[in-house]
Amino acid sequence: MGGPPMGAYGNPYAPGALPVGAPGAEEGSLGIGIALGFLFGCLGLIGCLIWGKPQTKKGAGIGFAIQVVLGAVLRIAAS
C-alpha cells in the first residue's frame, strides 16, 4: 500500500506503459538509422526509407547528411 501507484505513471518499465502506436511511443531505432545512413550511404538511406520505421528513417537521413558533410569537409581539406 505504501509503494508508488501501479500503471503507466507508477512504473515506466511496466508492460504496456506506452502501447505501440500511442503518442510518445517511438518506433524504430534512431542509432541504427544513423549507422545505416552513414556507413552505407545512399543504399542505406533508400533501404531505410523503403522498409524502416519512422525513427529509423529519421536516423538514416541524419547519418547520410553527416556522411555528405564530412566527405565535403575532408575533400576540401585535402585540396
Q: What is the pLDDT along the chain (79 residues), one digit of tens a residue?
A: 555 555 556 666 666 555 555 666 678 899 999 999 999 999 999 999 999 999 999 999 999 999 999 999 999 999 8
pLDDT of residue 22: 60
Whether 2 maps to a domain, the answer reads no
Nearest-angstrom CA–CA distance, 41 and 65 = 9
Whether 18 maps to a domain, the answer reads no
Whether 38 maps to a domain, the answer reads yes
Nearest-angstrom CA–CA distance, 71 and 10 = 47
pLDDT of residue 37: 95
Please give the tally of structural domains in the chain.
1
Whether 24 maps to a domain, the answer reads no
Whether 62 maps to a domain, the answer reads yes
Domain coverage including residue 66: 30-78
Q: What is the pTM of this model?
A: 0.68
C-alpha cell at 62: 541524419
Whether 50 maps to a domain, the answer reads yes
pLDDT of residue 17: 57
